[in-house]
């Protein structure tokens, strides 16, 4: 490889690594906004008040839904770029990471269906005349509870993808391996919180927000800050890519 080609490869690799980190961080903005909208409008244990809030802020409710979908597009793009960056460490593990990462995004995207169903029920209209307003509001409230449960389900896949990414980092020679265990901690935080939410909601309430937010800040913060500031060691990346066998 000529010096010119090596320079281009290094620049391309740095751009890919940094863009992966930036897109992942950016996705947190609209995603957090979407969650905050639902939390603001839903009144715990009160379907009627929740329905009234949604009808009074329908535009905000729809905006939150669209923001969530936009965040998922950024999230998936980040995952594809991370796959490209860490593929030399192990092609199979990188593919498993990408499948779990996209699976997390796909499951979370189903929240749009839950929110639209809830909105349809509280607004009423043709085909819903057989439901009394109280019944429609109660069904809408069920769909909004499914939103929360579905989010926790997505975190299981997201946590698993972080654990696999941590394994890739431990195998990689082009980023600090200490980040690997931190990403595994990140993944365990997501999975622990999700399983606690399913098995013992009271326990989930006690460990939140330390788990999963603090564990995520430690693992993802370390990885993405490193990728943005330092990138990857292009020479070692190329060496590992050259020696990678397709079954590793």
Q: Residues 26-40: what's their mean pLDDT?
A: 96
Beta carbons of 172 and 89 less than 8 angstroms apart: yes
- Among the listed ranges 22-26, 73-77, 239-243, which one has the minimum average pLDDT value? 239-243
Nearest-angstrom CA–CA distance, 34 and 54 = 14
* Spacing of C-alpha 176 from chain mean position: 23
157 half-sphere exposure, CB direction, 13 A CA radius: 17
| pTM for this predicted structure | 0.92
What integer pLDDT is reported at residue 71 of this predicted model?
98
Residue whose tokens read 């509001």: 137
pLDDT digits (tens, 9 = 90+) for 154-207: 999 999 999 999 999 999 999 999 999 999 999 999 999 999 999 999 999 999
Beta carbons of 228 and 22 less than 8 angstroms apart: yes
Residue boundaries of the structural domains of the chain: 3-243
CB burial readout 53-88, b (16+ within 10 A) else e: bbeeeeeebeebbebbebbbebbbbbbebbbbbbbb
CB burial readout 156-189, b (16+ within 10 A) else e: bbbbbbbbbbbbbbbbbebbeeebbebbbbbbbb
Cα R_g (the chain), whole angstroms: 21
* Peptide bond connecting 212 to the previous residue in cis, omega within 30 degrees of 0: yes
What integer pLDDT is reported at residue 8 of this predicted model?
53
pLDDT digits (tens, 9 = 90+) for 133-151: 999 999 999 999 999 999 9
What integer pLDDT is reported at residue 198 of this predicted model?
95
239: how many CB neighbours lie within 10 A of its CB?
14
H or E stretch covering 232: none
Nearest-angstrom CA–CA distance, 18 and 7 = 17
Confidence check: pLDDT of 2 > 90: no
């Amino acid at each position: 490889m000529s010096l010119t080609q090596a320079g281009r490869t290094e620049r391309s690799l740095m751009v890919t690594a940094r863009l992966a980190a930036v897109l992942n961080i950016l996705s947190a903005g609209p995603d957090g906004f979407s969650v905050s909208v639902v939390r603001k409008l839903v009144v715990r244990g009160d379907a009627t008040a929740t329905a009234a809030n949604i009808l009074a802020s329908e535009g905000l409710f729809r905006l939150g839904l669209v923001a969530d979908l936009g965040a998922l597009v950024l999230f998936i793009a980040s995952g594809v770029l991370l796959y490209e960056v860490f593929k030399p460490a192990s092609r199979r593990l990188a593919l498993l990471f990408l499948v779990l990462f996209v699976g997390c995004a796909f499951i979370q995207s189903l929240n749009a269906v839950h929110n639209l169903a809830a909105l349809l029920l509280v607004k009423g209209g043709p085909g819903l005349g057989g439901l009394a307003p109280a019944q429609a509001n109660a069904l809408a409230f069920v769909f909004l509870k499914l939103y929360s449960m579905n989010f926790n389900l997505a975190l299981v896949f997201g946590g698993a993808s972080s654990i696999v990414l941590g394994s890739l980092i431990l195998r990689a020679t082009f980023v600090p391996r200490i980040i690997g265990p931190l990403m595994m901690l990140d993944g365990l935080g997501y999975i622990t919180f999700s399983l606690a939410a399913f098995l013992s909601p009271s326990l989930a309430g006690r460990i939140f927000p330390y788990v999963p937010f603090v564990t995520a800040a430690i693992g993802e913060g370390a990885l993405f800050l490193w990728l943005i500031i330092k990138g990857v060691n292009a020479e070692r990346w190329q060496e590992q890519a050259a020696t990678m066998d397709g079954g590793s």
